[in-house]
Structure 1
Amino acid sequence: MKIKVLLLVVILPCLMAAGMHKFYVSTTKVEYKEDEKSLQIITKLFIDDIEDVLQERYSPSISLATKKETKVAEDFLKKYILQKFKVVVDGKEIPLTYIGREYEIDVVKIYLEASKVKNFDAIEIENKILFEISPDQQNIVHVKRGTTKKSLILDNDNPKGLLNFD
């Protein structure tokens, strides 16, 4: 009996701590649409993480995905994303357009687009989103051009990566 109690006292807190471990990860899908000559980008972030960054950076009153969300909150979200996410195609940085965002349970999906993009041999992605809240943040980027898919894992030490499609 004492062994069972001891095991519960030792193992239960470990299991609870493991369950509470927070993962700091985002995923981004970049797809080249040749017929439209555009890059369509969808970034998925945990709402609480991006909200924390926006509150720290701009205003403690920012609230996302609630009735308290204001137009200013989305403006700050747009500003932050466009500062932290960059795309370079064949050595030339291309301008990104913020299309909008939508919420799914605890995730925000952010839509960006780059137009007038010619077929490319190389694409460099810089994604520094959320690095200021966690040194463990990882930003996974999947790039698709035609039938070819390639991926990057970007972190604080390596915030940008180059993919060759030639």
Structure 2
Amino acid sequence: MKYFRILLLLLVFPLVSATSAHKFYVSITKIEYVKEKSSLQIITKIFTDDIEDVLKQRYDASISLDTKKETEAADEDLKKYLLQKINISVNGKPVKLDYIGKEYDTDMLVAYIEVKDVKELKTIEIENKVLMEMFPEQQNIIHLKTPESRRSLILDKDEPSGKLKFN
């Protein structure tokens, strides 16, 4: 019986390990409402290879992120893409997003965005379509922190936007 189990494991293990892993398509956006500065501070983390693929397809096939070959034009294309794909309305009114910059953390691109002049936060509607045109399985997770609460949204191709209310 012991030999049968060992033989079974030897036959089953290669079959299980040979199946291809499905890549997980996700971005995480943290939004913090800083009341003292009347601003929304936004940090978006996206896998570098995924955003690079989208920028290559959309703007320039030679774009290279997080390498010595990265150009200033690549940063401008990234800025243009993010500001097209992320839209925010505060208290029912669209707000202007200011792209501050980016950095890299291991295999992630970390982009910094700010919304100024947010005196009061009663409602916020967030649309995040980052990477959705290239990866139908893409999920964009939003974490919102205010001085009083924390909320989260999971956005996908079927529901690319969500609204949060605060009292």
Aligned in 2, Cα 1:133/1:10: closer, same or farther, shift over 3 Å?
Answer: farther
Residues 25-55 of structure 1 show CA distances to partners (whole Å, capped at 9, x for unaligned) of 1000000110000000000000000000000
Q: Match of 1:46?
A: 47
Closer, same or farther: CA 70–13 of 1 in aligned 2, 3 Å: farther
- Structure 2: which 5+ runs fail to align? none
1:1-166 → structure 2 map (5 Å cutoff) = 4=6, 7-17=9-19, 20-166=21-167
Structure 1 stretches lacking a partner, 5+ long: none
Q: Distance in 2 between matches of 1:93 and 1:8?
A: 60
Distance 1:92 1:140 in 2: 22
Structure 1 or 2, whichever has the larger Rg, is: 2
Could you say what the CA RMSD is over the residues aligned between the two structures, in angstroms?
1.6
Question: How far apart in 1 are the matches of 2:164 and 2:124?
Answer: 5
Query: How many Å apart are 1:4 and its aligned residue?
Result: 4.6
Calculate the TM-score normalised by the size of structure 2. 0.93
Identity over the aligned pairs, expressed in percent?
A: 53
Secondary structure, aligned partner of 1:35: helix
Letter of the aligned partner of 1:11 in structure 2?
F
User: C-alpha separation between the residues in 1 aligned to 2:133 and 2:11?
Assistant: 36
Deviation at 1:6, TM superposition (A): 5.8
- What letter is aligned with 1:157? D
| Cα distance, 1:133–1:117 mapped onto 2, change above 3 Å | same
Provide the rounded CA distance (Å) in 2 between the counterparts of 1:94 and 1:9: 59
SS in 1 for 2:125: strand
Q: Residues 111-131 of structure 1: CA distance to partner in whole angstroms, max 9, x if unpaired? A: 000001111111000000000
One-letter identity of the residue aligned with 1:138: Q
